[in-house]
Amino acid sequence: MSEVSKEYNFSYIEEKWVKSWDSSIYHFDWESKKPQYIIDTPPPYPTGNFHIGNALNWCYIDYVARYKRMQGFNVMFPQGWDCHGLPTEVKVEELNHITKNQVPREEFRRLCEKLTDEAIVRFHKSMGRLGLSIDWSNEYVTMKPEYYGKTQTSFVRMYENGQIYRDDHPVNWCPRCGTAIAFAEVEYDTRTTTLNYMRFVSEEGEMQIATSRPELLPACVAVAVNPNDERYQKFIGKTVRVPIFNYEVPVLSDSVVDTSFGTGIVMICTFGDRQDVRWWMEHHLPLRQAIDREGKLNAIAGPYQGLSVTETKNKITEDMKNEGIIFKQEPLEQNVGLCWRCKTPIEILSERQWFVKINAEEIKKAADEINWVPPHMQVRLKNWADSVEWDWCISRQRIFATPIPVWYCRACGEVLVAKEEWLPLDPNQKQPSVKCKCGSSDFIPEKDVLDTWMDSSISALAVAGWPNRKDLRMPTQLRPQGHDIIRTWAFYTILRTQSLEGMRPWDTILINGMALGEDGHKMSKSLNNFIRPEEVFEVNGADALRQWGAMGGSPGNDIMFQWKEITAASRFQQKLWSIFRFALPLIADVDASPCQVDRWLLGELDQLIDKTTQAMDAFQFDETMKAIRGFAWETLADNYIELVKARLYGPDSPEKRAAQSTLFKALETIARLMAPFTPFISEEIFHTLRGKSVHVQSWPKTSGIAVDPAGLAIKEIAASLRRYKAELGMALNSPLPGIVVYSELGLETFDLSGVANSNVDSRTTGPEIEMKPVAVKPQMKILGPRFKDKSGKIIKALGGMDPADVASQKAKGSIAVLVDGETIEVPPEAAEIVMETLSAGLAVDVLRLEKATVLVRR
RNA sequence: GGGCCCGUGGUCUAGCUGGUUAUGACGUCGCCUUGACAUGGCGGAGGUCAUGCGUUCGAAUCGCGUCGGGCCCA
């Protein structure tokens, strides 16, 4: 018990506990009778390393998981890995100096799996070191058949209930990745391009059209003007000849056409942008697709066939300039859609793809049943739901993803979707065991694979036991995630849960902010503001990082990483350690009747428990941790411990035992309250005190002890005596000739004499000194609601009155205030009297407090 | 162009279902080596709560506008 080091050796203690903790205490118990608390943890993309942003998110999750466990819930804190996707494919190509088509499909997939497995191992290590209470018995890996079989089951069921269909439809296409992508994967950026003014010829004369994409000329299917545009009335309903390619297209009128952009005449192509798609559908225009899947021009483009989009743009511009078709060019700032992974400008192509129906109303309805923290984040989901125009394209032309369990009959083209009991499977590896309706058994496997969000959007269902468990544990209780993926992960999860099980996926969604670098920008290697969690573990330890996560800001707001915050956190750790080191040889877990100061401390402790419980229930980790810190540092260390030192160092007595047990209780409670935040130091302290793990303890409950006003008065007297000595330049332990405290509360003297190192007398009456009212302090809370617009004048009048007069009226029960010649009766509680002690002529100094008066002999 | 959020002492930040001395941390200044801790203790300085108008007896807090920043999207 005595070999507590002076300095807190965080690395030794944290590593000791990482090694010796039994992680099975964090396992979800499927048989338990306790209320469940299932967390739909984000499955990170296992590539690179676990970074500070991850650390912050997982800290939030861990605070909740540990707190809920202590509150008696059967908690599931699972961990999944969202493996599939392009970044890993690209990385594999890089590392092995191959492209995906140079090796067999299966071989390529194996390379991706290997890379992913390695990343998962790294993540495991970082997460363990951070002290996360993850339930590894509920780990899932989306690239493993056990999981992607579930994804496939969800595909089959949604196909069968009509939520999934296959169709020709315009899709966002990334020519570099060679795949369709969803709207959620398109990002926008401003680029400077050229606006070209071209001459088209019609029977009514020349039409001048401005376009930024001349290479789409062969895909032109119509020309449109605004119906209210007087300049072009005569063209409406006529046809116009597309130059170079020499074919006629109709001239349409549409009120969406912006008369002030370019010439006010717009060329509609299939497809230049989303607006083209809208027009194409509304006006039932034909399809002229000029760009192929590699982003090259096809046969329809005649002389430009085989050239890339950029090459065509340059060449056709040149040709048209030479022929005088383009007569003017100007720069144009334009927002271009980019593939969010590779930043290549996307094209819109019409392709046969698989789609999931999006029912925006149902999604919004489900979102309404979910508790959003903070509430305003729900608006983002609603805005997104309202702006979705096409269904969700879920097929991808890649390899490392969940296979679409479908074949096509070679003879009749019929679609054969796998039966649930065949899953998991890869149609490229396995032929179906049934015949097609037409009698043929020759099938072509579907080569396309599923969008990664198809995997991750069933995470809530998967952890809750879907599809096999009879007792499906839906809805889950909590979805923690970042605001950057509300339109994807949150949106798709709600959609899928709604469509597969007809319910909301979670009770609560907790949105966390992003972790920013010390310069206030998003952490990135290129900005050189990148901090690895391991650096922090080495310098100040995992508990310090976890404290920063709690105290750095409130959830939902972005939070800046700052070393000084980490340092501050580790100072508190050291402070706590010093308290522990001081207390350990002196405390005892004994029954004792608490003294006044003890009852003050225990009352404060009760208030702390109340406050932290409320804050935790509202996910206010910053409030919680600040309250604990304030209690431990100020209330306990700076005040209580200083007050009871004399008792603790003194001979055995009921008073000493009272201090010993109070301090014991305070320390034990702090260890419990901090366990969700700082699991290591909390464990070290609690385990030393109790010989058991703090992580299987319950959250502290209040003991019903109110703050003792006498104890509070003693604490305040001690503080004012310290101030008194400081003002006189005395050492804080220098003795005073004599102190007398006067209070109706009947104050105990032993703690005061100890802390002041002086003799203290306590009296319940007196002292015989003169008190003089010197000011009146109006109470707005009383006056405002009662007197409304008159309160301003009443305050002024009260301030102008003789304080002594107000005091005597107040004592009689009512105060008469003269306002604009009118006498108004004001209740006594509306005015507080500020008193001053007249000590002139006395050989004492007087310290006047709310509940006590102290005379100090000079 | 639209939506959402934010703008609080030198820095970061709490409060924001309105009530008059605005929270805490870091920094800064002065004092104190008191038997857990100088990575400490005590005390102080420092803010027109971005800005303008409005609602109200009363606004950091509610409304509108402006300026600045961030995020999501068109």
Give the pLDDT confidence score for residue A8 in this predicted structure.
94
- Computed on alpha carbons and rounded to an integer, the radius of gyration of chain A in Å comes to 37
Buried b or exposed e, range A267-298, using 16+ CB within 10 angstroms:
bbbbbbbbebbebbeeeebeebbbbbbebbbb
User: What does the block give as tokens for A136?
Assistant: 């590894």
CA atom of A626 to C1′ atom of B51, Å: 32
- Which nucleotide across the nucleic acid strands is nearest to A733, CA versus C1'? B34
CA atom of A754 to C1′ atom of B23, Å: 32
- Which nucleotide across the nucleic acid strands is nearest to A377, CA versus C1'? B4
CA A334 to chain centre: 32
Give the pLDDT confidence score for residue A2 in this predicted structure.
45
Give the pLDDT confidence score for residue A350 in this predicted structure.
84
CA atom of A566 to C1′ atom of B31, Å: 29
CA–CA distance, A609 with A611 (Å, rounded to integer): 5
Give the pLDDT confidence score for residue A525 in this predicted structure.
64
CA A385 to chain centre: 20
CA atom of A520 to C1′ atom of B7, Å: 14
Q: Give the residue whose CA sits closest to B3 at C1'.
A: A383
pTM of this prediction?
Answer: 0.86
Quickly list DSSP for A103-124.
S-HHHHHHHHHHHHHHHHHHHH
- Which nucleotide across the nucleic acid strands is nearest to A516, CA versus C1'? B70
Give the pLDDT confidence score for residue A341 in this predicted structure.
66
A259 contacts A229 by C-beta, under 8 angstroms: yes
The Cβ of residue A203 has, within 10 Å, a number of other Cβ atoms equal to 11
Strand partners, A618: none
In this structure, what are the phi and psi dihedrals at residue A512, rounded to the nearest 5 degrees? Answer: -100, 155
User: What does the block give as tokens for A99?
Assistant: 């492209």
CA atom of A504 to C1′ atom of B58, Å: 45
Nearest to A342 by CA among A523, A517, A89: A89
A500 contacts A492 by C-beta, under 8 angstroms: no
CA atom of A793 to C1′ atom of B57, Å: 9
Q: Give the residue whose CA sits closest to B73 at C1'.
A: A384
Q: Give the residue whose CA sits closest to B2 at C1'.
A: A383
Contacts of A441 (CB under 8 A, 6+ apart): A431, A432, A434, A435
A504 contacts A494 by C-beta, under 8 angstroms: yes
A788 contacts A796 by C-beta, under 8 angstroms: no
Quickly list DSSP for A263-285.
TSEEEEETTSSHHHHHHHHHTTP
Report how many helices (DSSP H) and strands (DSSP E) chain A contains, helices first.
Answer: 25, 33
CA atom of A337 to C1′ atom of B8, Å: 39
User: What does the block give as tokens for A387?
Assistant: 């702006």
Question: What's at A551, amino acid-wise?
Answer: M
- Which nucleotide across the nucleic acid strands is nearest to A581, CA versus C1'? B36
Q: Give the residue whose CA sits closest to B27 at C1'.
A: A564
For A364-442, strand residue ranges (E) read 371-373, 392-393, 395-396, 406-409, 415-417
CA atom of A453 to C1′ atom of B71, Å: 22
Q: What is the pLDDT of residues A169-217, one digit of tens each?
A: 888 888 887 877 776 677 777 777 888 899 998 888 889 998 888 999 9
- Which nucleotide across the nucleic acid strands is nearest to A791, CA versus C1'? B57
Nearest to A115 by CA among A145, A98, A141, A95: A95
Nearest to A112 by CA among A129, A130, A95, A131: A95
Question: What's at A816, amino acid-wise?
Answer: A
CA–CA distance, A181 with A202 (Å, rounded to integer): 38
CA atom of A833 to C1′ atom of B59, Å: 27
Give the pLDDT confidence score for residue A1 in this predicted structure.
42
Q: Give the residue whose CA sits closest to B6 at C1'.
A: A557
Q: Give the residue whose CA sits closest to B32 at C1'.
A: A731
A48 contacts A9 by C-beta, under 8 angstroms: no
A50 contacts A123 by C-beta, under 8 angstroms: yes
A520 contacts A512 by C-beta, under 8 angstroms: no
CA–CA distance, A602 with A705 (Å, rounded to integer): 6
- Which nucleotide across the nucleic acid strands is nearest to A731, CA versus C1'? B32
Length of chain A: 858
- Which nucleotide across the nucleic acid strands is nearest to A788, CA versus C1'? B57
User: What does the block give as tokens for A321?
Assistant: 């300039």
ipTM for this prediction: 0.92
A306 contacts A297 by C-beta, under 8 angstroms: yes
CA atom of A728 to C1′ atom of B29, Å: 19
| Mean pLDDT in order along chain A per 10 residues (858 residues) | 79 96 96 96 88 89 96 97 88 86 91 95 95 97 96 97 90 82 72 86 88 90 86 88 91 81 87 83 85 88 90 92 89 76 81 90 91 87 84 88 96 94 94 91 93 94 95 95 89 94 94 80 69 91 93 81 89 95 94 94 94 92 92 94 93 95 96 97 97 97 92 90 79 81 91 88 77 75 79 78 82 82 82 66 68 81
User: In a 3-state reduction of DSSP, which class is residue A762?
Assistant: strand
The Cβ of residue A697 has, within 10 Å, a number of other Cβ atoms equal to 17
CA atom of A618 to C1′ atom of B18, Å: 23
- Which nucleotide across the nucleic acid strands is nearest to A562, CA versus C1'? B12
CA angle A295, A300, A304 (to 5 degrees): 65
Write out which nucleotides of chain B lie closer than 7 A to a protein Cβ: 2-6, 12-15, 19-20, 24-26, 30-37, 39-43, 56-58, 70-74
- Which nucleotide across the nucleic acid strands is nearest to A273, CA versus C1'? B74
- Which nucleotide across the nucleic acid strands is nearest to A586, CA versus C1'? B36
User: In a 3-state reduction of DSSP, which class is residue A252?
Assistant: strand
Q: Give the residue whose CA sits closest to B15 at C1'.
A: A623
- Which nucleotide across the nucleic acid strands is nearest to A569, CA versus C1'? B25
Nearest to A689 by CA among A570, A574, A583, A543: A583
User: In a 3-state reduction of DSSP, which class is residue A35?
Assistant: coil
CA atom of A625 to C1′ atom of B39, Å: 20
Give the pLDDT confidence score for residue A558 in this predicted structure.
83
In this structure, what are the phi and psi dihedrals at residue A263, rounded to the nearest 5 degrees? Answer: -100, -5
Contacts of A365 (CB under 8 A, 6+ apart): none
CA atom of A786 to C1′ atom of B3, Å: 42
Rounded to whole angstroms, what are the CA distances from A413 to A307, A408, A503?
A: 33, 6, 36
In this structure, what are the phi and psi dihedrals at residue A131, rounded to the nearest 5 degrees? Answer: 80, 30
CA–CA distance, A225 with A222 (Å, rounded to integer): 10
CA–CA distance, A656 with A675 (Å, rounded to integer): 29
CA atom of A758 to C1′ atom of B46, Å: 37
